[in-house]
């Protein structure tokens, strides 16, 4: 084995998920391919060369829809690494992203938790080189 390539995230709607992650959270849309028959491959990541991307999967059943926003049961779903936590926090906050507090220094660097449009929690982390 080598690495984790993609992480699946259930969404209510592709367009609104793309809008939030690219316009508000600053992610890059990597792929958006329709294959017919309702099949679509949509991926986004913090940067073109992030290595791991989120795959948006539209909730197409009642069971999947019930899990949108709670895939990690209230825990942080993903950690997003940054070189400048304060810069990205200010930019994202200005774009309407909801944060749980402000960036704070922790033993491993600087971090702050935010939520996506569905309530999934993500940790914005600037590592201190540990």
Considering the domain boundaries, does residue 39 fall inside one? yes
CB atoms within 10 A of CB 2: 4
pLDDT in tens, 40-76: 999 999 999 999 999 999 999 999 999 999 989 989 9
pLDDT in tens, 86-119: 999 999 999 999 999 999 999 999 999 999 999 9
CATH number, domain containing residue 48 = 3.10.180.10
Q: What is each CA distance from 17 to 62, 70, 74, 91, in whole angstroms?
A: 18, 15, 19, 18
pLDDT in tens, 30-44: 999 999 887 899 999
What pLDDT does residue 39 have? 85
Considering the domain boundaries, does residue 38 fall inside one? yes
Domain that holds residue 69: 6-127
Considering the domain boundaries, does residue 18 fall inside one? yes
Total domains in the fold of the chain = 1
Q: What percent of the chain has pLDDT over 90?
A: 92
Q: What percent of the chain has pLDDT over 70?
A: 99
């Amino acid at each position: 084995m080598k690495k984790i390539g993609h992480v699946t995230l259930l969404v209510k709607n592709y367009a609104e998920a793309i809008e939030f992650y690219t316009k508000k959270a600053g992610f890059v849309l990597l792929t958006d391919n329709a294959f017919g028959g309702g099949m679509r491959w949509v991926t986004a990541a913090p940067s073109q060369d992030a290595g791991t991307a989120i795959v948006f999967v539209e909730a197409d059943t009642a069971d999947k829809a019930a899990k949108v926003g709670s895939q990690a049961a209230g825990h942080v779903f993903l950690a997003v690494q940054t070189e400048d936590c304060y810069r990205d926090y200010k930019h994202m906050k200005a774009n309407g992203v909801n944060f749980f507090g402000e960036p704070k220094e922790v033993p491993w660097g600087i971090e702050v938790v935010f939520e996506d449009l569905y309530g999934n929690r993500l940790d914005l982390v600037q590592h201190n080189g540990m």
